[in-house]
C-alpha cells in the first residue's frame, strides 16, 4: 500500500513537472533572460551591431538624467497620462459597474458594448482613432458645425495629450468595469439588507458598505491601470508616433526609439531598468496603502 502511494506521488510529481516545465522554460527565455541582459547592457555602450560591448559603469544612467531632455519630457508625459488614465478610467468604470450590476433590461448587452474595445488590438484601435481624429471629425464638422470637431487633435502639442488619454480610457474602460461588477457581485446581500434596515440611504450604502468591501477590486484595478498606463505604447505608436515633435512621447516609445531606431542599446537598457524600478516602487506603495484598508466579511 505504501509503495503504491509513493508511486502515485512520484507519477503526480512527474506529470506536474512535465506540464509546467515548457511554460516555465518559455517564461525564462522570453522574460527573465532578456531582463538580466538588459541589466548587463545598461552599464555598457553597446550599439547592437558590435560584437563586444564596452563597460561604462553608471555613465548611461548619468546621461539619462543629466543630458537627455527627451527622456525627462517623455517621463513627464507618461506621468501626466497615467494620472489622468488611472483616475478617470477607474471612476468611470466604477460608475458604469454600479449601474450595470443592477437587474435591468439590456444590462448584458451594454456590458458587452463597453467590453468589446478591450479585446480589439490596441494598434488597430490607434489606427481607427487616428482616422476618426483626422477624417471623421472634419466630416462631422461640415455637417454639425461644432467647433471642437475642427480642432487639430493630433497635430497640436496642447491637444494631442487629451486625444491620447481619451483613446486609452475608451479602450480599457470595459475591462475595469467587468472587474468592478465582479467585485460588486461578491458583496453579500444580507450586509446590504442590514444597512438598509438601519436606515442607510442609497448613497450611504455605497460609500459606507459597498466601497470598503470593494477595496480588493479597487486595488487590482488600480495596479493594472497604473502598469498599463505607464507601459502605453501601441496606440501612441499607431496614432502619433510620439508627435507632434515629442509632445506625445511615452517612456516606452522613447526606449523603443533609442534601441531600434538610434541603435543605442546601452542607453535604452538603462532607461528600461529605471522604468522597471519606477513601476516596482509604485506597485509596492499602492499595495501597502490599500492592503491595510481591506475589509473582511
- Per-residue pLDDT tens digits for 218-269: 989 998 999 899 999 989 999 998 988 889 999 999 999 998 888 888 999 9
Task: Record the pTM.
Answer: 0.87
Cell of 141: 464638422
What is the per-residue DSSP string for the chain? -HHHHHHHHHHHHHHHHHHHHHHHHHHIIIIIHHHHHHHHHTTB---SSSSS--B-TTHHHHHHHHS-HHHHHHHHHHHHHHHHHHHHHHHHHHHHHHHHTSS-TTHHHHHHHHHHHHHS-HHHHHHHHHHIIIIIHHHHHHHH--GGGGS-TTT-TTTHHHHHHHHHHHHHHHHHHHHHHHHHHTS-HHHHHHHHHTT--HHHHIIIIIHHHTHHHHHHHHHHHHHHHHT--HHHHHHTTT-STTTT--HHHHHHHHHHTS--HHHHHHHHHHHHHHHHHHHHHHHHHHHTT----
Give domain 69-291's CATH architecture: Orthogonal Bundle (1.10)
Residues in CB range of 223: below 8 A, 6 or more apart: 283, 286, 287
Q: Report the chain's mean pLDDT, rounded to a whole number.
A: 86
Residue 50 pLDDT level (bands cut at 50, 70, 90): low
User: Residue 246 gets which letter from DSSP?
Assistant: T
Per-residue confidence at 20, pLDDT binned at 50, 70, 90? Answer: confident
Give the whole-angstrom CA distance, residue 11 versus residue 7.
6
Question: What is the pLDDT, as a whole number, of residue 293?
Answer: 59
The phi, psi pair for 103, rounded to 5°, reads -80, 105
Kindly report, residue by residue over 125-168, the tens digit of the pLDDT: 888 998 888 888 888 888 887 887 788 888 888 889 999 999 99
Domain ranges of the chain: 69-291
Amino acid at each position: 500500500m505504501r509503495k503504491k502511494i509513493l508511486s502515485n506521488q512520484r507519477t503526480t510529481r512527474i506529470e506536474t513537472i512535465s506540464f509546467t516545465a515548457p511554460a516555465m522554460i518559455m517564461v525564462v527565455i522570453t522574460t527573465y533572460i532578456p531582463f538580466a541582459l538588459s541589466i548587463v547592457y545598461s552599464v555598457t555602450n553597446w550599439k547592437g551591431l558590435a560584437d563586444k560591448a564596452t563597460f561604462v559603469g553608471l555613465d548611461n544612467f548619468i546621461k539619462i538624467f543629466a543630458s537627455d531632455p527627451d527622456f525627462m519630457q517623455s517621463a513627464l508625459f507618461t506621468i501626466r497620462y497615467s494620472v489622468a488614465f488611472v483616475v478617470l478610467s477607474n471612476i468611470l468604470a466604477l460608475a458604469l459597474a454600479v449601474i450595470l450590476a443592477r437587474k435591468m433590461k439590456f444590462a448584458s448587452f451594454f456590458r458587452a458594448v463597453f467590453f468589446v474595445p478591450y479585446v480589439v488590438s490596441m494598434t488597430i484601435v490607434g489606427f481607427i482613432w487616428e482616422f476618426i481624429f483626422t477624417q471623421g471629425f472634419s466630416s462631422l464638422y461640415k455637417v454639425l458645425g461644432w467647433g471642437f470637431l475642427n480642432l487639430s487633435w493630433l497635430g497640436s502639442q496642447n491637444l494631442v495629450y487629451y486625444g491620447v488619454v481619451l483613446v486609452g480610457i475608451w479602450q480599457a474602460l470595459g475591462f475595469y468595469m467587468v472587474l468592478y461588477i465582479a467585485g460588486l457581485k461578491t458583496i453579500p446581500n444580507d450586509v446590504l439588507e442590514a444597512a438598509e434596515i438601519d436606515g442607510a440611504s442609497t448613497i450611504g450604502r455605497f460609500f459606507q458598505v459597498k466601497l470598503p468591501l470593494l477595496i480588493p477590486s479597487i486595488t487590482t484595478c488600480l495596479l493594472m491601470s497604473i502598469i498599463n498606463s505607464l507601459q502605453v505604447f501601441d496606440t501612441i505608436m499607431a496614432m502619433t508616433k510620439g508627435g507632434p515633435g515629442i509632445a506625445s512621447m511615452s517612456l516606452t516609445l522613447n526606449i523603443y526609439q533609442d534601441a531600434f531606431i538610434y541603435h543605442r542599446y546601452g542607453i535604452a537598457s538603462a532607461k528600461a531598468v529605471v522604468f522597471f524600478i519606477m513601476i516596482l516602487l509604485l506597485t509596492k506603495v499602492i499595495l501597502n496603502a490599500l492592503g491595510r484598508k481591506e475589509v473582511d466579511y
